[in-house]
Amino acid sequence: MYDGIVQDLIDELGRLPGVGPKSAQRIAFYLIETDNDSASKLAAVIREAKEKVRFCEVCGNVSEGTKCGICSDPKRELSVICVVEESKDINAIERTREFRGLYHVLGGAISPISGIGPDQLRIKDLMKRLADPGIREVILATNPNLEGEATATYLTRLLGAMEISVTKLASGLPVGGDLEYADDMTLGRAFEGRRRVN
Amino acid sequence: MYDGIVQDLIDELGRLPGVGPKSAQRIAFYLIETDNDSASKLAAVIREAKEKVRFCEVCGNVSEGTKCGICSDPKRELSVICVVEESKDINAIERTREFRGLYHVLGGAISPISGIGPDQLRIKDLMKRLADPGIREVILATNPNLEGEATATYLTRLLGAMEISVTKLASGLPVGGDLEYADDMTLGRAFEGRRRVN
């Protein structure tokens, strides 16, 4: 469509998740037409991130050092590990300020269709961490979808024999949502997980 | 939120048009977690685009040379110039295969709110091109919105004194659209521009 390099840029941008052909074109022209600084800063920061960002050797979170900020924070509770699929889930949980324990990033969820089984996830590393007798609780915080649920079920069985309490995040109606618009599954889960309030 | 460089990457990505904070985070993690090649290729192509892509000295289209592919194509009709706001509009028009003339990129539209007046657009360059007596027609193909219409009106007045026919793209119902869902302005324009078919 376009002259060589412009099309190359559109193609590369189009490979990014959530960026369709129209957005790729829009971003490409923005980068070309904007002042030089912003585009070269983006190029530099991509390179720098690829060079410097590693994964925490304890929990698998993104980190610039060998241990991430959370694993090296002396104020965190060492007795609770929250298991998540991706590093970005940690950020979402941290924002709630509800949790002060440690994390473990699986690096995905069990998905036979995508060829991801338990061996492709960081489950062995999790088992090694759980050998520490100081750990009281494992919170399963995988996504509430097919793959996430399968992973949670797998982990529940695997951890069943151990003397650690395994908990799972509550499923139910989202806060601020409308009962009328809740899907059947969510509403069903909300009933299943109903709590006595008096 | 994140360790230094990860947050820097998210911030830079979030500056791109149409990329919100969530998408920026998703793209950042994709770039970090993906194999090295794809991220460094993107960084390289951004740099290369900024270094190599210039604007055609005739029409203002993006180009790797001093003249763009269209302006240097000997098969194009030299007597018609289609005036567009942005380079990407050229691509949209080229896809229709309806037009074989030349283009002129204004570099935006008149928008008093954004402080863009006629002097910020490539209107002087257009006037210079129109001094060529070989040019018969100028097609105004600015966007059918407030700014685009204002620009078309301005250009219509400016070119009124010249012996060149000035035309404007038809406004009306989009093909495949539903009359019921057309907005009032569009439906109004469709009536205004109705054509006899018998």
- In this predicted complex, what is the ipTM? 0.72
Q: Where are the alpha helices (DSSP H) in A82-122?
A: 87-96
Q: Is A37 on the interface with B (CB under 8 A)?
A: no
- What CA–CA distance (Å, rounded) separates A90 from A103? 7
Is residue A81 within 8 Å of residue A114, measured between CB atoms?
Answer: no
Q: Is B23 on the interface with A (CB under 8 A)?
A: yes
Do A141 and A74 have their domain in common?
A: yes
Do B98 and B48 have their domain in common?
A: no
CATH code of the domain containing A129: 3.40.1360.10
Specify the number of domains making up chain A. 2
Residue of A nearest to B108 (CA): A33
Distance of CA B184 to the CA centre of its chain: 25
Do A46 and A67 have their domain in common?
A: no
CATH code of the domain containing B30: 1.10.8.420
Give B133 to chain A, closest Cα distance, Å.
Answer: 30
What value does the mean pLDDT take over residues A166-194?
82
Do B130 and B82 have their domain in common?
A: yes
Confidence at residue B171, expressed as pLDDT on a 0 to 100 scale: 83
- What CA–CA distance (Å, rounded) separates A3 from A5? 6
Q: pLDDT tens-digit profile of A91-144?
A: 888 888 888 999 999 999 999 999 999 999 999 999 999 999 999 999 999 998
- What CA–CA distance (Å, rounded) separates B190 from B193? 5
Do A27 and A110 have their domain in common?
A: no
Do A130 and A100 have their domain in common?
A: yes
Do B147 and B131 have their domain in common?
A: yes
Contact (CB<8Å) B3/A64: yes
User: Structure tokens of A55?
Assistant: 């994964």
Confidence at residue B80, expressed as pLDDT on a 0 to 100 scale: 94
State residue A147 phi and psi, 5-degree precision: -70, -45
Phi-psi category of B115—alpha, beta or left, where left has phi over 0 and alpha has psi -120 to 50?
Answer: left
Do A96 and A63 have their domain in common?
A: yes
Confidence at residue A163, expressed as pLDDT on a 0 to 100 scale: 87
With bands split at pLDDT 50, 70 and 90, how would you rate the model's confidence at A177? confident
What one-character-per-residue DSSP string does A4-55 give? HHHHHHHHHHHTSTT--HHHHHHHHHHHHHS-HHHHHHHHHHHHHHHHH-EE
Do B17 and B106 have their domain in common?
A: no
Confidence at residue A24, expressed as pLDDT on a 0 to 100 scale: 93
Do B87 and B119 have their domain in common?
A: yes
Do A87 and A112 have their domain in common?
A: yes
Contact (CB<8Å) A26/B17: yes
| Single-letter residue type at B170 | A
Confidence at residue A28, expressed as pLDDT on a 0 to 100 scale: 92
Confidence at residue B193, expressed as pLDDT on a 0 to 100 scale: 81
Which helix or strand (DSSP H or E) is residue A103 part of? strand A102-105
Confidence at residue A172, expressed as pLDDT on a 0 to 100 scale: 83
Is residue B168 within 8 Å of residue B152, measured between CB atoms?
Answer: yes
Closest CB to A23: pick one of B13, B18, B62: B18
What value does the mean pLDDT take over residues A44-67?
90
Confidence at residue B188, expressed as pLDDT on a 0 to 100 scale: 82
Q: Hey, of B22, B36, B40, B45, which one would you mutate to test binding to chain A, going by the most A CBs within 10 A of its CB? A: B45
Give A30 to chain B, closest Cα distance, Å.
Answer: 7
What is the span of the domain harbouring residue A29? 4-52
- What CA–CA distance (Å, rounded) separates A63 from A12? 26
User: Structure tokens of B59?
Assistant: 């029409």
* Positions in chain B short of pLDDT 50: none
What value does the mean pLDDT take over residues A42-59?
90
Do B164 and B130 have their domain in common?
A: yes
What one-character DSSP code corresponds to residue B29? H
pLDDT at A178 over 90: no
Residue of B nearest to A108 (CA): B33
Contacts of A96 (CB under 8 A, 6+ apart): none
- What CA–CA distance (Å, rounded) separates A48 from A60? 19
Cα torsion angle, B32, B38, B42, B45, sign? positive
